[in-house]
Amino acid sequence: MADTIVVVGGYQSNNTRELVQTCLDAGRHAIHVERAEDLNAANFRAAKVVGVTAGTSTLLETVSAVVAQLKRIAADTRA
């Protein structure tokens, strides 16, 4: 089970904000980003398992870029 959830979607998107709140209500650390460049490696230092979800109108390409950036962050922290 993920302890940290990255929620990808517009900062003004009601659907995405509701996803963030759902994660928080479930006791998870939620990180809301619009794009991969918004990720900060420092936010994942204590994370053991990171999950990713996205708002309904978020492009697959955006989600894929976020996942790729998360993989780079994970590789850098293991190095």
What's 37's domain CATH number?
3.40.1010.20
Q: How confident is the model at residue 77 (pLDDT cuts 50, 70, 90)?
A: confident
Residue range 4-60, pLDDT digits in tens: 999 999 999 999 999 999 999 999 999 999 999 999 999 998 999 999 999 999 999
| Average pLDDT of the segment spanning 58-72 | 97
C-alpha span between 48 and 16 (Å, rounded)? 23
The confidence score (pLDDT) of residue 76 equals: 87
Number of structural domains (the chain) is 1
Alpha-carbon distance of 62 to 49, in angstroms, equals 21
Which residue range forms the structural domain that includes residue 16? 4-78
Contact 63, 8 (CB under 8 A): yes
Q: Confidence band (pLDDT; 50, 70, 90) for 79?
A: low
Structure tokens of 17?
Answer: 């904000």
Q: How far is CA 21 from CA 30, 55, 59, 63, 69, in A?
A: 8, 12, 21, 19, 23
- State the pTM of this model: 0.94
Dihedrals phi, psi of 51, to nearest 5 degrees: -110, 160
Q: How far apart are CA 73 and CA 13, in angstroms?
A: 26
